[in-house]
């Protein structure tokens, strides 16, 4: 899931940018330490795990001996990441040789967490009320998340095309609605709001990537709501270690956490329930998979293997929620989407021509015109192909490729057609007084990396418009 990896990496950049005092405060929570560990590059995880039960610094030369000759670049990336997150503290001696030591707070709490595996952030309620089943909880999370995504397509009448009339979502808080629409919608004067290039791309992301995008924005703007970003980061990552489907008492939360949990319910991360005397929240898979999606599956396997060697037990069970596929693409470019969702219909309309919609079936076709519209809106061929592959119906997902090759090849060719000509603002210079002046002008343009074309016989050249004023001053000096 490359989109998830990129956006989650940006989230960890946000964590790394926190002041040292706030980062150290985060590391006092053992669950945050594990979540941060999951986010690290594979080689950085290896260093942390191998140094976890070692007191004292380790020389940089010794660390370099732990990798093969072709792993120098990965080694530097790993060290830089560990230093950015203050997991490593670096010391340089008189000989300018570096040594590294684990952050003591991080080290102590991660040791306790790994050796005492199985302890939860807070105990579930011993409730006698009926809790939703996992299937009902998945349905709830999906519907809540779709409401937010639908706000981009359905919040404004200009986006209504599929059969039926969609109503404006009303159960999203105003602050959460602003988060969904910030950067994804644009409006000029009294014109109706329109999707931005980022908005079109957001709709084609998978759910995990969309979720990380919103959460990153939710945390970035937390200070506007009077909340410390470090507190939100801590609570979100801690929430991911709760048990899906269990009830947790709201009284165990701080005031900041109670306010956050109500907004997270809008996203489908938790379900809120109220009893006669108590209220509680129930985490969904969207919440419990947050820290898991910080890393990819290959890194997860390598990390689990290292933990088995060190701790002697495999204490972590990883479950990843995937949306049920619903799209079938035929070699004749026709699309069949087995869905009753208006949102799915609108997303398909971004790059295909919808022909008709039945109660549980959307039928359309990928055409040259529909793809050109998508490309104009900033959507790329790879994003369209990735969406079709990720949402392939289970019957076709078993086949390789899940999307016919002639379709994927043609989508890329149609995109290439639009990229054949690139427009560049430029200026034409001719009628030079002498060949020496012409050649000097050519050399000047090359130095600025702005020479687009030259005709030495007729002494003409074309340069980028951005150096026009500089070129004029240069030519005046040649007279």
Q: To the nearest whole number, what is the mean pLDDT of the chain?
A: 79
440 shares its domain with 407: no
Q: Is residue 383 situated within a structural domain? A: yes
Residue 325 pLDDT level (bands cut at 50, 70, 90): low
Which tokens in the block code for residue 42? 């594979």
Claim to verify: residue 403 and residue 435 sit in the same structural domain: no
Q: Which of 172-176, 225-229, 349-353 has the lowest mean pLDDT?
A: 172-176
Identify whether residues 378 and 436 lie together within a single domain.
no
pTM higher than 0.75 for the full model? Answer: no
Instruction: Please give the pLDDT value at position 162.
Output: 58
Query: pLDDT of 359-375, one tens digit each?
Result: 889 999 999 999 998 88
Asked if residue 207 and residue 97 are part of one domain, the reply reads no
**Across 183-190, average pLDDT:** 68
219-228 contacts at long range (C-beta below 8 A, 24 or more positions apart): 219/11, 219/14, 220/14, 221/179, 221/182, 225/175, 227/256, 227/259, 227/260, 228/22, 228/256
pLDDT-derived band at 172 (thresholds 50, 70, 90) equals: low
322 within a domain of the structure (yes/no): no
Instruction: Look up the domain containing 25 and give its range.
Output: 16-115
What is the Cβ-side half-sphere exposure of residue 9, based on CA atoms within 13 angstroms? 10
Cβ 140 vs Cβ 268: under 8 Å: yes
Query: Taking 90 as the threshold, does the pLDDT of residue 307 lie above it?
Result: no
Average pLDDT, stretch 28-39? 86
335 shares its domain with 414: yes
**Domain identity same for 149 and 222:** yes
User: End of a domain among 288, 304, 335?
Assistant: 288
Q: How far is CA 328 from CA 194, 333, 412, in A?
A: 29, 10, 19
First and final CA of the chain: distance in angstroms? 60
CATH code, domain carrying 46: 1.10.10.10
175, 225 Cβ separation under 8 angstroms: yes
- Please tell me whether residues 168 and 84 are part of one structural domain: no
Please tell me the total count of domains within the chain. Answer: 4
The pLDDT value recorded for residue 168 is 45
pLDDT tops 60 at residue 121: yes
Judgement on whether residues 32 and 142 belong to the same structural domain of the protein? no
Helix spans in 247-367 (H): 255-267, 285-288, 297-311, 342-349
Same domain as 77, residue 37: yes
Task: Specify the pLDDT at position 368.
Answer: 92
Residue with the larger pLDDT of the pair 420 and 80:
80
Lowest mean pLDDT among 93-102, 142-151, 433-442: 142-151
pLDDT recorded at residue 333: 94
Backbone φ and ψ for 404, nearest 5 degrees, come out as -50, 140
Q: Is the pLDDT of residue 1 over 50?
A: no
Instruction: Give the pLDDT mean for 431-449.
Output: 89
Last residue of a domain, one of 261, 288, 315: 288
Candidate from 93-107, 205-219, 353-367 with smallest mean pLDDT? 205-219
pLDDT-derived band at 9, boundaries 50, 70, 90: low
Tokens of 47: 């260093």
Please, are residues 25 and 310 in contact by the beta-carbon 8 Å criterion?
no
Residue 11 falls inside a structural domain: no
Say what the pLDDT of residue 190 is: 65
147 with 282, same domain: the answer is yes
pLDDT at 79 over 60: yes
Joined tokens for residue 288: 């419990």
Q: Are 351 and 371 in contact (CB under 8 A)?
A: yes
Least confident window among 3-7, 143-147, 263-267, 352-356: 3-7
Spatial CB neighbours of 388, under 8 Å, sequence gap ≥ 6: 327, 329, 402, 403
Residue 377 maps to a domain: yes
Share of the chain above pLDDT 70, in %: 80
Same domain, 78 and 170: no
Domain assignment present for 214: yes
Which tokens go with 193? Answer: 């709001």
Residue 174 backbone dihedrals phi, psi, to 5 degrees: -60, -35
Give 412 or 93, the one with higher predicted confidence.
412
Q: With beta carbons less than 8 A apart as the criterion, state whether 187 and 222 touch.
A: no
């Amino acid at each position: 899931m490359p989109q998830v990896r990129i956006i989650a990496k940006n989230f960890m950049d946000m964590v790394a940018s926190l002041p040292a005092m706030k980062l150290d405060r985060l590391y006092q929570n053992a669950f945050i330490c594990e979540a941060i560990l999951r986010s690290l590059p594979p080689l950085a995880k290896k260093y942390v795990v191998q140094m976890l039960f070692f007191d004292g610094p380790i020389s940089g030369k010794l660390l370099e001996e732990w990798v093969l000759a072709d792993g120098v670049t990965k080694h530097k990336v790993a060290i830089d990441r560990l230093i950015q997150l203050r997991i490593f503290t670096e010391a340089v001696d008189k000989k300018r040789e570096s040594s590294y030591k684990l952050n003591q707070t991080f080290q102590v709490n991660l040791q306790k967490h790994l050796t005492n595996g199985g302890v939860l952030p807070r105990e579930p309620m011993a409730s006698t009320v009926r809790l939703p089943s996992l299937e009902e909880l998945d349905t709830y999370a999906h519907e809540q998340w779709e409401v937010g995504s639908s706000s981009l397509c359905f919040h404004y009448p200009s986006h209504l095309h599929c059969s039926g009339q969609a109503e404006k979502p009303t159960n999203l808080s105003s602050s959460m609605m602003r988060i969904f629409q910030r950067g994804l919608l644009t409006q000029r004067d009294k014109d109706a709001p329109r999707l931005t290039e980022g908005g079109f791309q957001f709709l084609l992301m998978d759910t995990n990537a969309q979720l990380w995008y919103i959460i990153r924005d939710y945390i970035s703007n937390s200070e506007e709501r009077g909340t410390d970003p470090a507190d939100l980061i801590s609570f979100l990552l801690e929430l991911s270690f709760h048990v899906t489907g269990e009830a947790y008492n709201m009284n165990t939360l701080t005031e900041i956490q109670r306010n956050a949990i109500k907004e997270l319910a809008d996203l489908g991360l938790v379900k809120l329930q109220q009893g006669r005397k108590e209220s509680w929240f129930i985490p969904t898979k969207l919440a419990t998979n947050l820290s898991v999606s910080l890393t990819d599956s290959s890194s997860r396997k390598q990390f689990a293997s290292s933990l088995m060697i060190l701790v002697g037990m495999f204490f972590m069970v990883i479950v990843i929620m995937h949306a049920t596929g619903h799209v079938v693409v035929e070699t004749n470019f026709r699309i069949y989407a087995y869905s009753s969702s208006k949102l799915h219909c609108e997303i398909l309309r971004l790059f295909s021509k919808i022909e008709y919609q039945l109660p549980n079936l959307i039928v359309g076709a990928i055409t040259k015109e529909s793809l050109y519209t998508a490309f104009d809106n900033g959507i790329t061929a790879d994003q369209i192909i990735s969406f079709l592959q990720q949402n392939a119906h289970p019957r076709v997902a078993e086949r390789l490729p899940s999307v016919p090759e002639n379709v994927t090849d043609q989508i890329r060719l149609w995109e290439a057609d639009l990229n054949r000509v690139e427009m560049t603002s430029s200026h034409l210079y001719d009628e030079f007084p002498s060949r020496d002046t012409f050649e000097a002008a050519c050399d000047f343009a090359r130095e600025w990396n702005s020479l687009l074309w030259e005709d030495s016989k007729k002494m003409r050249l074309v340069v980028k418009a951005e150096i026009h004023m500089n070129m004029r001053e240069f030519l005046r000096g040649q007279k």
